[in-house]
Amino acid sequence: MLSRNISTVAVVAALALTQQACSSSSEPAGEPATQAATSATAPASAPASAAADPKPSATPEGATASGDPILAGKRQVVIKPIETTESIVVLEKGKLTTTDGEAEHSLFVFTPHNGKFLIKTAKAGAGGEPSCLGIKTNGSNPLTVVAAACDTSRAGQLFTVAPVGKKDGSGRPIYSISNGDAFLQLSDRYGVIAEELGDAPLATTYALVDNGPSTLPALD
């Protein structure tokens, strides 16, 4: 309808009126382009997507530190597996496992780095620095998670923390934790392992329970 009106004005009206009509027709044409750009740049809703698919993508979109002091490396937390009732994740004898008792390293600090996270012990070791969690290969046995000197250049120490779209009984967000394509899962035999899911659903998810400000010194 607008095109026919413009054509009629172009034939029977003066040049000034024709230019005015053309100018008016260009205004609504810009709106769909603006809406398309907004739609293209708007972030996807991670919780809704994750809730629809019980098995997260092998390369999930990581959580960001924005507005969350836990994921900004400012708080020390207990890593609580949702699928267990009492156990928590601890670093014991240099290896990540779970316990329902006491352990020297049961608090961790999630330090962001380029969209991923170093997971540090909240307590410094004998050398005055914390340890970081890292992936260890074990031949034909599953990948395990062990203590290592923190090094952001090592891919095995950079973890993705992705919301799964649910909350625990206390209203805390629930996350998957992965390294590359391997997700941290509980194993009765090996403690905490890193395992590619394949066609299997994600079996272990985690809440990060705030235990106060991080006491780790800021490093350059």
DSSP code per residue over 103-131: -SB--EEEEEETTEEEEEESS--TTSS-E
DSSP code per residue over 51-88: HH-SS--SSPPPP--TT-SGGGT-EEEEEEETTSSS-E
User: pLDDT digits over 74-104, tens only?
Assistant: 999 999 999 988 899 999 999 999 999 888 8
Q: Does this model's pTM top 0.85?
A: no
> Does the pLDDT of residue 174 top 80, yes or no?
yes
* Banded pLDDT at 220 (limits 50, 70, 90): very low
Domains of the chain: 2-40 (no CATH), 56-213 (2.80.10.50)
